[in-house]
Amino acid sequence: MEAQTRIITLSTGHHVWTRRVGTSPIRMLLLHGGPGASHEYFEIFEPYLTKAGIELYFYDQLGSYFSDQPDDPSLWTIDRFRQEVDEVRRAVGLEDFYLLGQSWGGMLALEYALAHPDALKGLVISNMTASIPSYVRYIQWLRQQLPKEIQEQLQSHEERGDYESENYQELLIEHLYKKHLCRLDPWPDAVVRTFAHMNQQVYNTMQGPNEFVVTGNFKDWDRWAHLGQVSVPTLVIGARYDTMDPADIEEMARRIPRARATICPNGSHMSMWDDSDAYFDAIVSFVRDVEAGQF
């Protein structure tokens, strides 16, 4: 499979890593989550989507793994990342393309679609609700389903600000991450590498200490009222065991004028891994329908 790696210089002078795989007039740019994660957990996209005739563009956002990692918290804002996406897509020559974002990347993809609809042929919002308050509401509901003693232990650590303790991290892994982030056991190597390479400054600045505790600068982000302005064909993907409410995913598709929703029946937040066939079948069907003018 033909591949090409390019380093893009941003207007800020920083550098970001990109990699194109495949050759096709159908082109898709991938926005990873985190914020501050990496493209690595997207490696599974290559065998599924290039086989379907889609040219893929992987990239590590500024602050992530192969890209520059400046020690400057002022860079970690939604507005700057949205501008970065536009600079990257122009640098690699993408016009009339598909944009797929997962988790934080889904938030960023929605922001991009609202700001630059003319550049897009289609939008895929993966494992992301339309607002952080909606996410917090649902993840707190998931937390309330845990045994009372586990909830009390989590709360005790959080009241002390003891987010890095071994016990607290083990509780998160066992009762949140293994059930709602990725349900495979063991986790795939690409997922393990992604978490190992997480840029904590980016994550903590925008999200907060962890998935349960959202105190970062995007905590008030809410786009429910703007979904009707999304003008491009859109696929919204969620999963039964996701940290995002499946009902939110379906509501997003109702509010976006040209949209459909897919809920992966066996998947979690990384449903591309733990419900791969359902996840990629939905993407391929969506792209084929858009290409055929049937969407």
What does residue 275 show for φ and ψ, rounded to 5 degrees?
A: -150, 55
pLDDT (tens digit, 9 = 90+) per residue, 215-225?
999 999 999 99
- Residue 152 is inside which H or E element, if any? helix 148-159
What does residue 74 show for φ and ψ, rounded to 5 degrees?
A: -65, -15
Task: Give residues with Cβ within 8 angstroms of 95, minimum separation 6.
Answer: 119
What range defines the domain where residue 21 resides? 3-291
**Residue 161: what pLDDT?**
87
- Looking at the 3D structure of the chain, how many domains does it have? 1
Q: Indicate whether 1 pLDDT > 60.
A: no
Q: In this structure, what CATH number is given to the domain that contains residue 192? A: 3.40.50.1820
pLDDT (tens digit, 9 = 90+) per residue, 14-52?
999 999 999 999 999 999 999 999 999 999 999 999 999
**Residue 138: what pLDDT?**
97
Q: Indicate whether 2 pLDDT > 80.
A: no
With H, G, I as helix, E, B as strand and everything else as coil, classify residue 262.
Answer: strand
Task: Report, as an integer, the average pLDDT of 128-150.
Answer: 96
With H, G, I as helix, E, B as strand and everything else as coil, classify residue 120.
Answer: strand
How far apart, in whole angstroms, are the C-alpha atoms of residue 18 and residue 34? Answer: 17
The token pair that represents 45 in the structure block:
């996209």
pLDDT (tens digit, 9 = 90+) per residue, 69-107?
999 999 999 999 999 999 999 999 999 999 999 999 999
Q: Which amino acid is at 235?
A: L
Strands 55-60 and 15-21: antiparallel
Residue that the structure tokens 């009241």 belong to: 159
Catalytic residues: 103, 242, 269
Task: Report, as an integer, the average pLDDT of 205-215.
Answer: 91
Q: What's the pTM value of the predicted model, to 2 decimals?
A: 0.97
How far apart, in whole angstroms, are the C-alpha atoms of residue 76 and residue 191? Answer: 23
Residue 124: Cβ within 10 Å count:
25
The answer to whether 12 touches 81, Cβ cutoff 8 Å, is: no
